[in-house]
Structure 1
Amino acid sequence: MLADPDTDWNRVDIEALRQHLIDMNNVTLHAKVSESDIEGGARFEATSDDPAVTASIRAMVPAHVATKNGIRGWEMRAEEIPGGSALTVTGADAQKIRALGFIGILTVGAHHQPHHLAMAKGEMTQGH
């Protein structure tokens, strides 16, 4: 961002990136995740009794589905459930889906660095 002469400094929003990193931390470290094998993949239910963690789950899961549905040929669906969100992932390689688990699925694809830079530069108004 500092080295990019095209950075629009009026749009830079480091606080948005900070909030996203808080969401990532909450989901990774504080969400309770249960997994159920389903035909062709898995269903992951991420929940918390802590309202801040629940809010982070509900921000992260649908946003990842919106940007990653179809990656590797996988179908992803998000659903709000009490205390959080469910993530359902199906595809030809169900064993990989199950082995990766909830957090592994969220990391698939080389999107995090460009995504975080875009957030900091104010190029993303929502999503994770």
Structure 2
Amino acid sequence: MQAKIILTVIAFTGGTALAFAQTNHAGHDNGMDHSAHGQDQITNADVLSEPGQGAFAALSEVVRVLEADPSTNWAKVDLTGLRAHLIDMDRLVSDAVVSQTDLPNGISAAATGDAETIETLRRMVPAHAAQLARDDRWAVQATQTDEGIELRVTSDDPAVVARIKGLGFFGLMASQDHHREHHLMMALGEDAHAH
């Protein structure tokens, strides 16, 4: 019993010390703020590249590209719209409830969720289905339902059918590396799905 108490006290004080060390900025020189960290002369290729949570990281990357381009039309930049899209992406992956049915030639996936998730699905799935349909190896159809949306992807090629089934709904939604290009277009205030 006495050993448990001692271990608990050590764990508690160790955690407190760690938390204090992480939040204590006493080691900073006078006048140093977080904005000064980026001005350090670090050029090592091993510097972290992920600046935080996924949506924040995506926004940070876009901001870096926009700021580096002298032709950026700041009057058209729409980072709020891009943020809303990134929230949709997160909601789709985290909150959508998908019932997938294997078909002889592909899949049919019925996606639903709470009211916000259904709105997200209705915004994202048809737009991404149009992007998927550019690949002529498969046929893609997105249909709005009372409960959300149905995505049907089929092919006559057995190898492509295997790929469709392997990817499933979420893999299909994440496939075709166009997301970064669309994110930059959204940030620039352009219609990302118009091209």
* 8 Å contact from structure 2 (residues 182, 192) kept in 1: no
RMSD: 1.6
- What is the TM-score with the length of structure 2 in the denominator? 0.61
Question: Which structure dedicates a bigger proportion of its chain to strand?
Answer: 1
* 8 Å contact from structure 1 (residues 79, 87) kept in 2: yes
Deviation at 1:68, TM superposition (A): 2.1
**Paired AA for residue 94 in structure 2:** L
- Partners of 1:41 and 1:95 lie apart in 2 by 8
> Deviations along 1:51-91, whole A, 9 cap, x unmatched?
11110011010000122213261111000012211000012
* 8 Å contact from structure 2 (residues 125, 142) kept in 1: yes
- Partners of 1:16 and 1:27 lie apart in 2 by 17
Query: Between the two proteins, what is the percent identity of the paired residues?
Result: 39
Pair 1:114 & 2:178 matched: no
Pair 1:11 & 2:84 matched: no
Which structure's CA Rg is the greater one? Answer: 2
- 2:104 aligned to 39, 42, 58, which one? 39
* 8 Å contact from structure 1 (residues 70, 76) kept in 2: no
Superposed, 1:1-128 pairs within 5 Å as: 1-48=66-113, 50-71=114-135, 73-91=137-155, 92=157, 93-124=160-191
* 8 Å contact from structure 2 (residues 185, 192) kept in 1: no
**Paired AA for residue 77 in structure 2:** V
**Paired AA for residue 137 in structure 2:** G
Say which SS state the counterpart of residue 35 (structure 1) adopts.
strand
- Partners of 1:125 and 1:40 lie apart in 2 by 31
Question: Which structure dedicates a bigger proportion of its chain to helix?
Answer: 2
* 8 Å contact from structure 1 (residues 69, 75) kept in 2: yes
- Partners of 1:68 and 1:10 lie apart in 2 by 32
- Partners of 1:17 and 1:118 lie apart in 2 by 9
- Partners of 2:74 and 2:148 lie apart in 1 by 35
Which has the higher relative contact order, 1 or 2, with Cα contacts under 8 A spaced 6 or more apart? 1
**Paired AA for residue 25 in structure 1:** D
Deviation at 1:126, TM superposition (A): 6.2
Structure 2 unmatched runs, 5+: 1-65
- What is the TM-score with the length of structure 1 in the denominator? 0.91
